[in-house]
Structure 1
Amino acid sequence: MRDRILDAVERILVSGGADAVRLDAVAAEAGVSKGGLLHHFRSKQALIEGVLERLMARFEAELPPAGSPPGAFTRAWLDASIPDTDAPAQSDADRVSVALLAGLSGGPEVLAALRRYYETWQHRLADDGLDPATATLVRLAVDGWWMARLLNLAPPADDLHRQVRARLTAMIEEGA
């Protein structure tokens, strides 16, 4: 039931933003009673924290372990965040955007958890066997890209999407 509830929160975050996450709306979307919801999550804050933790664990599972070949972590960062071809905004490829939204809307505790993940990931990028500036540039480009997708701020589309992704991939391969 916990995953069903978190799935509902994700759908609500994507379709309506953090303001739409209300206990009654989540219970209805998940098809559970409000009491069943409260058994697993005591507050809106707990729901958002649960979404963030689950999404960060999924994202982490897509990243290679320490000691992988040079550039593997940076390449996995790109692959896990930006699809090879342009996909409509709010698709499954944008799940990490939901985590960002949760982090920004969940209060200081949730934002602090997101920051801890990023600190760890930045250290892994810097130690990925590439020039740390190149790895960080790729991370910042990817983060900006999915933020543009999340907010529909003129994200690269179609051929430009493929060209930008190819340029980032080339940066990683040249540095490895």
Structure 2
Amino acid sequence: MLTEHGKRENILTAYLNLLSHQGTRAATLEAVSSACNLSKAGVLHHFPNMQALRQGIFTELKAQASAEVEQMTADLPRAAEYYLVSSLSRDNLLERLIDAVYRLAQTGDADALGLLRSCRDDWYGALLLATGNEALAKLVLFAGDGLNHNALLSLDEANESFVGPATATQMLALVRQLQQTPTANA
């Protein structure tokens, strides 16, 4: 759920969906106003320009990513499991926000790229606390990213067997095994 409510939430949701599903070229003020059934003036009343809409998406990503990091750090023994399993989900709010901000970063938006790096660093920090090992924390982070990418490849596949909950469970078992290895903790 977005932190904004009412018309601001509807506008941000329209912008988010346009960015994540159709890309930056499709996410025009006209398209946003049409998608949320407001006039352009109505959209501009709540967000005075496209920069304000972009900043609204950034604020939402920061809030959602921070909530996820808090959840991970509140239960460190299960943080790696949480990260891997949650990486299987492709159509939740956090993933749509990440996709939207990636789209903005791909246009050369330095602020979008900086935000994505900041989120990555926060997830890595939580995984580092959970695993106690820099390489292992990065391995979990990269494995989660790979699961997420492959989940995207499997969205419309009814009988997908390559990636799923069992895959995350297998990876988690390997992470736990590596945590127990003396060289992994050195």
Whether TM exceeds 0.5 here: the answer is yes
1:116-141 per-residue CA deviation (whole Å, 9 max, x = no partner) reads 22222222222223433222112112
1:133 corresponds to: 135
State whether residues 47 and 53 of structure 2, in contact with CA within 8 Å, keep that contact through their aligned partners in structure 1. yes
Aligned mates of 1:106, 1:9 — CA distance in 2:
19
Q: 1:117 aligns with which of 119, 127, 131?
A: 119
Gaps of 5+ in 2: 1-6, 181-186
State the Cα distance separating 1:99 from its structure 2 match.
Answer: 3.9
State the Cα distance separating 1:65 from its structure 2 match.
Answer: 5.5
Aligned mates of 2:83, 2:22 — CA distance in 1:
27
State whether residues 66 and 124 of structure 1, in contact with CA within 8 Å, keep that contact through their aligned partners in structure 2. yes
Summarize the Cα distance change of 1:115–1:46 in structure 2 as closer, same or farther, 3 Å threshold.
farther
Q: 1:11 aligns with which of 10, 17, 23?
A: 17
Aligned mates of 1:5, 1:44 — CA distance in 2:
11
Aligned mates of 1:116, 1:22 — CA distance in 2:
27
Shifted more, 90-99 versus 166-175: the winner is 90-99
1:61-104 per-residue CA deviation (whole Å, 9 max, x = no partner) reads 2342536333x332222233214xxxxxx633742433433443
State whether residues 102 and 112 of structure 2, in contact with CA within 8 Å, keep that contact through their aligned partners in structure 1. no
Aligned mates of 2:172, 2:12 — CA distance in 1:
33
State whether residues 124 and 138 of structure 2, in contact with CA within 8 Å, keep that contact through their aligned partners in structure 1. yes
Summarize the Cα distance change of 1:45–1:76 in structure 2 as closer, same or farther, 3 Å threshold.
farther
Aligned mates of 2:21, 2:74 — CA distance in 1:
39
Aligned mates of 1:38, 1:147 — CA distance in 2:
35
State whether residues 6 and 50 of structure 1, in contact with CA within 8 Å, keep that contact through their aligned partners in structure 2. yes
2:99 corresponds to: 97
Aligned mates of 1:42, 1:21 — CA distance in 2:
15
Residue identity matched to 1:16: Q
Residue identity matched to 1:170: A
State whether residues 135 and 172 of structure 1, in contact with CA within 8 Å, keep that contact through their aligned partners in structure 2. no
Gaps of 5+ in 1: 84-89
State the Cα distance separating 1:143 from its structure 2 match.
Answer: 1.7
Residue identity matched to 1:171: L
How high is the sequence identity, in percent, across the aligned residues? 26
RMSD, matched Cα: 3.1
Aligned length in residues: 168
